[in-house]
């Protein structure tokens, strides 16, 4: 058949083997076509010699619960979760890590016998990048744009680096305040500006980050900010 792969081609080291023993992983999002995760993860599987494959699955928000049940029943080994599912997926896990509990959001789901265990690795990964780049956060004033699942995981980790202040910027003042409340340390190591003048947010459209400068929310600032 024209264009068909030869059997010897399927045995090439650079080609993923897919058979009955292949472990299946996926990223769930809406939209998700732009995701580079399949390229990155499949390259990692090949380098590690794993019989595994990673795919992107388009899952509209109203069908997330149905999708998670079906993928678990089908034996999928693990999932990545991206926009707009991080917070909704948190509520659909049967167990969560401490980071996920604090963020009230997940970006990784690990298959367990009774359901999915939720992990929030955005904050851990962000701290690792900061350390690798040698960026000093102590005493600095930081601006975090957006108040979604990734922000909810990253801001509590930023607090541990002892900045002078963290300003959470979002189109939704209540979501910004929720991030601040979840991240504020009782010893005051970081003064979080709670629900100040909200000037914009970062949104992803077709994989491109877009800053929308839009005055919204309220203009009240916390006296302790």
Distance between CA atoms of 90 and 88, rounded to whole angstroms? Answer: 5
pLDDT at 184: 63
User: Minimum mean pLDDT among 77-91, 128-142, 144-158, 177-191: which range?
Assistant: 177-191
What percentage of residues in the chain have a pLDDT greater than 90?
Answer: 52
Distance between CA atoms of 89 and 106, rounded to whole angstroms? Answer: 7
pLDDT at 199: 31
The total of other beta-carbon atoms located within 10 Å of residue 136's CB is 9
Catalytic residue among 32, 35, 52, 86: 86
pLDDT bin (cut points 50, 70, 90) of residue 127 is: very high
Instruction: Inform me whether the pLDDT recorded for 59 exceeds 60.
Output: yes
CATH 3.40.50.10860 domain range(s) in the chain: 7-119
Whether 157 sits among the annotated catalytic residues: the reply is no
CATH class of 123-216: alpha beta
CATH 3.40.50.720 domain range(s) in the chain: 123-216
What does the radius of gyration of the chain's CA atoms come to, in whole angstroms? 20
Question: Exposure string (b/e) for 182-199, b if CB count within 10 Å is 16 or more?
Answer: bbbeeeeebbbbbbbebb
What percentage of residues in the chain have a pLDDT greater than 70?
Answer: 74
What average pLDDT does the segment 21-25 reach?
96
pLDDT at 10: 37
Distance between CA atoms of 149 and 99, rounded to whole angstroms? Answer: 12
Instruction: Inform me whether the pLDDT recorded for 14 exceeds 50.
Output: no
Instruction: Inform me whether the pLDDT recorded for 121 exceeds 80.
Output: yes
Bridge partners of residue 111, in order along the sequence = 116
CATH no. for 7-119: 3.40.50.10860
């Amino acid at each position: 058949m024209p264009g068909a792969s030869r059997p010897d081609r399927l045995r090439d080291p650079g080609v993923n083997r897919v058979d009955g023993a292949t472990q299946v992983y996926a990223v769930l999002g809406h939209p998700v076509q732009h995701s580079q995760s399949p390229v990155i993860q499949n390259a990692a599987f090949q380098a590690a010699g794993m019989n595994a494959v990673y795919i992107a699955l388009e899952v509209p928000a109203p069908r997330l619960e149905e999708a998670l049940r079906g993928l678990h029943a089908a034996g999928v080994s693990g999932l990545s979760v991206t926009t707009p599912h991080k917070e909704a997926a948190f509520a659909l896990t049967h167990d969560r890590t401490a980071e996920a509990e604090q963020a009230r959001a997940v970006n990784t789901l690990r298959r367990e016998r009774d359901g999915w265990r939720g992990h929030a690795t955005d904050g851990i990964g962000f701290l690792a990048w900061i350390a690798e780049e040698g960026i000093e956060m102590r005493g600095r004033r930081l601006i975090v744009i957006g108040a979604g699942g990734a922000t909810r995981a990253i801001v509590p980790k930023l607090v541990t680096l002892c900045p002078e202040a963290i300003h959470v910027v979002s189109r939704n003042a209540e979501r910004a305040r929720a991030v601040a409340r979840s991240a504020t340390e009782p010893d005051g190591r970081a003064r979080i500006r709670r629900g100040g003048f909200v000037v914009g947010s970062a949104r992803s459209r077709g994989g491109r980050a877009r800053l929308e400068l839009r005055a919204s929310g309220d203009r009240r600032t916390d006296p302790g900010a």
